[in-house]
Amino acid sequence: MGDTLDWRIWHFAANGRYSVKSGYWAALEFKRLEVLSAGSIAGPSSSSLKLWKHLWKLKVPKKILHFLWRLAQNILPTKDVLFLRHITQEAVCFRCNAVYESALHAVVGCTVCIPVWEALDFPCAFLQLNLTDARNWLTAAWALIPPDKQSLFAITVWLLWNERNGVLYGSQPTPPRVLVQRAKDYDDEVKRSLVVNHRSLSSPVRDVKWYPPVAGCFKLNVDGAADLETGARGAGAIVRDSQGNLVGAMAMRAPSMLSILATELYALKTGISFALDASFVPLVIESDSLLAVNMINDVEECLAAEGALVDGVRRLLATHEFSTVRHIPRSANGAAHRIARFSLRDQNLSCWMEVGPLWLMDAVYDDWPASNVSSLHFQL
């Protein structure tokens, strides 16, 4: 069934047949050409990838990760950014009258921030770093800050940004010693909540959560999605390693009007092709469709209407003896579900390796075993 699909990426496979591998390389090539034709050579550079990997391991609430990522992208609405976009007449810092209020000025260089950083006892080389480029600065700062202080660092940058916004909108400035105490309290709270969540893993929980595969293995989660109004169908697949890190993910349309069961099987087939093509083996495969998983694992020939898809999946599995398919509840399949939903909004095949857009990194983060800290509410 999938082989008769009229899919424009077919043109890219040398043998004229559809393959996920040729599909995602073609998609990457499209992206690269788009970037080149837009006159920019900027792409997801290795330095931003490296930085994201650092940030991603950080156990702080998700909103703080969001903030750091926006800081690194230089898209916070600081005076210099607004000035360059002709939204304001001047770029002067409204707190210390420095000529340019850049994002790094707002959270590090401003005279009102420095006493906070000094009181928190970070390595002194830290404040002498070049403050011109936020991404380079964050990367350099990461190298200087001991691992046990990284969450405090992230929390402090975030608090200082909130402090800056508060003052901009009319609040009285908070004394540095109060900010220092808040940062420390918040860091303690975050670390405590991690311990609590860790303990709760041993007690029975109602919602089954995603968990990573054993060391040396990969886990593929797939899901299908259907738009009942338009008839569109989509598939999402995500591969993660034993640390819960994103290794690869893919979103693609499935043939319109497929049955829900066939869409789930289609997601299994394309997801497994994707993972095996990229050599993500040994592979554990999870789907939240009990019926689809049972059909695949049944030893009998499948005589249902979906038989061709079932055969397709079984053939793929037969090439790798370590690959197993199992059923998991929806609550443990959140990331794949979001990728499948995404495929309904975007006609193109999308593929991400190691790092993806924010919504995807969020989905990965939400599944992360220790990420319950992201639901932490702390009143500042």
CB atoms within 10 A of CB 343: 27
Cα angle value 194/197/199 (rounded, 5°):
110
Strand pairing of 233-240 and 324-327?
A: unpaired
Binding of residue 309 to Zn ion (CB under 5 A): no
At residue 113, φ and ψ (nearest 5 deg) are -90, -35
Indicate the residue among 107 and 296 with the shorter CB distance to Zn ion: 107
Specify the 3-state DSSP secondary structure of 60. coil
| Main-chain phi, psi angles of 306, to 5 degrees | -90, 10
- Residue 154 lies near Zn ion (rule: CB under 5 A): no
Shortest distance (Å) from residue 162 CB to Zn ion: 16
Residue 290 sits at φ, ψ, to 5 deg, of -60, -40
Q: Which two tokens stand for residue 196?
A: 């609590």
- Count interface residues toward Zn ion (CB under 5 A): 5
Q: With binding defined as CB under 5 A, does residue 98 bind Zn ion?
A: yes
| Nearest residue (CB) to Zn ion, 93 versus 129 | 93
Query: Please, what is the minimum distance in Å from the beta carbon of residue 69 to Zn ion?
Result: 23
Of the pair 110, 317, the CB lying nearest Zn ion is at: 110
Site for Zn ion in 206-245 (CB under 5 A): none
* CB 73, min distance to Zn ion, A: 21
C-alpha angle 374-116-79 in degrees, rounded to nearest 5: 80
Q: How far is the CB of 98 from Zn ion (least distance, A)?
A: 5
Least distance (Å) from Zn ion to the CB of residue 164?
Answer: 9
Residue with Cβ nearer Zn ion (110 or 296) = 110
What's the burial of 273, exposed, middle or buried (CB within 10 Å: 0-12/13-18/19+)?
buried
Among the listed residues 26, 72, 91, 110, the single contact to Zn ion using CB under 5 A: 110
**What DSSP character marks residue 216?**
T
Amino acid identity for residue 331 in this structure: S
Q: Which is nearer to Zn ion, 173 or 231 (CB)?
A: 173
For Zn ion, give the closer residue by CB, 98 or 376: 98
Binders in 77-96 for Zn ion, by CB under 5 A: 93, 95-96
Binding site for Zn ion (CB under 5 A): 93, 95-96, 98, 110
